[in-house]
């Protein structure tokens, strides 16, 4: 038995990354960033606002949180709808109490189905970023490029019609991309994406369709990962976020401004038995003078201005 000789050849083995998207760069070798209002740590809340059609699509893959039983899966369909009816309002209320504006990563069908919700989000000063069409709009390699381009355009233009301007940011479902995604996003005029989790600050990402910025939305610090996947309590979640904030604040001296992504899911965090613990967590952050809350677009602008 042996392997094909190609298996022991390494054509990309050399200095730097094994692709051309970004050069290697250590977080600790950069010019320190300054955030507005003397904040040292910016918490970046991103709420995923999702619609799960009751007939799931497995091509290219079924989204996390999607239907699980034989048709009709009322239990998951309605439990996800709990997020868009109740959970989202609890989360928005929590951020209103601390005067924070956040990024909301919305499936574009939410704009057609629940226009009032989108209107309220916008009028409260939050940012809408594009999050595909609905939870059947997953992306992965193998997808036809024209289909992917059409899906991205559909999501962006639907949201644009609803909110009056084109979203500046994009989050893929499950952060899953094809080899074309970043290029198609750049060509569609998207300024930043949130899918790559390899850094803790924004960084430039080169594609054949031009440059785009990646703002890493740490998946390990998401409510989905900590509460759903790792089965931790809200108290443990809150402890982990506080430990993260404490550590990052310590690093701001001497390394400069840091950010803490807080990826939230209305049907996970917006439950009655979790929301109070969450409110306590962000109220604690709001009391710390050196911590602020920021939307993705303002982090992008601030970072770009300092490059």
Round to whole Å and give the CA distance between 115 and 108. 10
Calculate ∠ Cα 43-47-50, nearest 5°.
165
- Using only the alpha carbons of the chain, give its radius of gyration: 20
Beta carbon nearer to other proteins, 18 or 37: 18
Beta carbon nearer to other proteins, 23 or 72: 23
Backbone dihedral region for residue 99 (phi beyond 0: left; psi -120 to 50: alpha; all else: beta): left
Q: Choose which of 132, 158, 178, 207 interacts with other proteins (CB under 8 A).
A: 178
User: Shortest approach of other proteins to residue 89 CB, angstroms?
Assistant: 27
Round to whole Å and give the CA distance between 35 and 135. 34
Lookup result for tokens 């940012």: 127
Q: Choose which of 133, 136, 177, 302 interacts with other proteins (CB under 8 A).
A: 177
25 interacts with other proteins by CB under 8 A? yes
Are 270 and 55 in contact by the 8 Å Cβ rule? The answer is: no
Q: Choose which of 3, 70, 146, 305 interacts with other proteins (CB under 8 A).
A: 3
Are 190 and 167 in contact by the 8 Å Cβ rule? The answer is: yes
Question: Which residues 189-248 are close enough to bind other proteins by CB under 8 A?
Answer: 195-200, 216, 218-221, 226, 229-232, 236, 239-241, 243-248
Calculate ∠ Cα 223-271-232, nearest 5°.
40
8 interacts with other proteins by CB under 8 A? yes
Kindly determine how many residues on this chain lie close enough to bind other proteins according to the rule CB under 8 A: 62
Q: Regarding beta strands 203-207 and 210-214, do their DSSP bridges make them parallel or antiparallel, or are they unpaired? A: antiparallel
Beta carbon nearer to other proteins, 121 or 262: 262
1 interacts with other proteins by CB under 8 A? yes
Binding site for other proteins (CB under 8 A): 1-4, 6-10, 12-19, 24-28, 60-61, 140-142, 172, 174-179, 195-200, 216, 218-221, 226, 229-232, 236, 239-241, 243-248, 251, 260
């Amino acid at each position: 038995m042996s392997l094909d000789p190609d298996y022991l050849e390494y054509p990309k083995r050399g200095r730097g990354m094994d692709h051309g998207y970004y050069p290697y760069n250590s977080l600790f070798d950069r010019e320190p960033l300054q955030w507005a209002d003397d904040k040292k740590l910016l918490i970046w809340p991103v709420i995923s606002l999702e619609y799960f059609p009751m007939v799931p699509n497995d091509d290219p893959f079924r989204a996390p949180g999607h239907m699980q039983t034989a048709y009709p899966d009322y239990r998951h369909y309605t439990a996800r709808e709990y997020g868009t009816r109740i959970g989202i309002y609890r989360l928005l209320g929590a951020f209103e109490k601390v005067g924070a504006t956040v990024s909301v990563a919305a499936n574009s069908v939410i704009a057609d189905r629940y226009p009032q919700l989108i209107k309220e989000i916008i009028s409260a000063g939050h940012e809408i970023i594009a999050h595909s069409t609905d939870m059947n709009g997953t992306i992965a390699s193998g997808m036809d490029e024209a289909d992917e381009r059409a899906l991205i355009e559909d999501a962006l233009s639907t949201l644009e019609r609803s909110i009056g301007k084109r979203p500046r940011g994009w989050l893929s479902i499950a952060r899953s991309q094809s080899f074309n995604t970043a290029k198609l996003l750049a060509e569609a005029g998207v300024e930043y994406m949130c899918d790559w989790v390899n850094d803790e600050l924004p960084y430039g990402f080169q594609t054949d369709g031009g440059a785009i910025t990646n703002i890493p939305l740490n998946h390990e610090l998401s409510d989905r990962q900590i509460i759903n996947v790792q089965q931790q309590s809200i108290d443990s979640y809150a402890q982990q976020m506080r430990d993260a904030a404490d550590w990052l604040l310590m690093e701001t001296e001497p390394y400069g401004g840091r950010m803490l992504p807080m990826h939230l899911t209305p049907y996970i965090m917006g439950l009655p038995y979790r929301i109070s613990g969450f409110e306590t967590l962000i109220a604690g952050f709001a009391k710390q003078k050196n911590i602020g809350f920021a939307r993705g677009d303002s982090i992008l602008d601030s970072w770009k201005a300092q490059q």
